[in-house]
Amino acid sequence: MSADSAVGRHRAQADAEARDLAIEIVPRPAAGSLEEAAALLGLAPRSIVKSLVVKRHDGQFLFALVPGDRQISWSKLRTVVGVNKLRLPEASLAFEATGYERGTITPLGSTVAWPVYADRSVVGERIAMGAGEDGFSLFVQADELIAAYGATVADISDPIAASGS
């Protein structure tokens, strides 16, 4: 772990405290996939929420919070955001926009407080997500996170299609 990566977890914690948001950051062994991370944490994949940085056509960004067993529905998200073009940025742009590496991204402590869009399926759930640093996961009540960020809650995802049969 580099000195820079350690700052991420502390930024997330400080942001949560500033927002009066109760979180728990726990160490987690390295995982090769979301499913493996879920198993290590004793969770179903749907309880791990991916914090996806999405680039708008105007160069601005947003966070899309999507359960681990689902994927962004680009058409649904474009409709909710009210734009024609959205995309996942390159890893370097995601880092520039948030100060976090992919796999550790969270809205908490992001270098810019981009708008947050949460898939409606997370409402009422205790979720795990990136904690701003490799080797850690952040637990939070989704409803409290949504309230702390004034997040837009909408149907922005689809089930992940099964591969091959």
Total count of domains within the chain: 1
The verdict on residue 164 lying in a domain is no
Query: Whole-angstrom Cα distance, residue 57 to residue 27?
Result: 36
Per-residue pLDDT of 7-62, as tens digits, reads 889 999 999 999 999 999 999 988 888 899 899 999 999 999 999 999 999 999 99
CATH at residue 23: 3.90.960.10
The verdict on residue 163 lying in a domain is no
The verdict on residue 165 lying in a domain is no
Per-residue pLDDT of 102-120, as tens digits, reads 989 999 999 999 999 999 9
pTM over 0.85: yes
Across the chain, the runs of DSSP E, i.e. the strands, are 23-27, 49-56, 61-67, 70-72, 86-87, 116-119, 126-130, 136-141, 152-154, 157-159
Give the range of the structural domain holding residue 151, as residue numbers without chain letter: 3-158
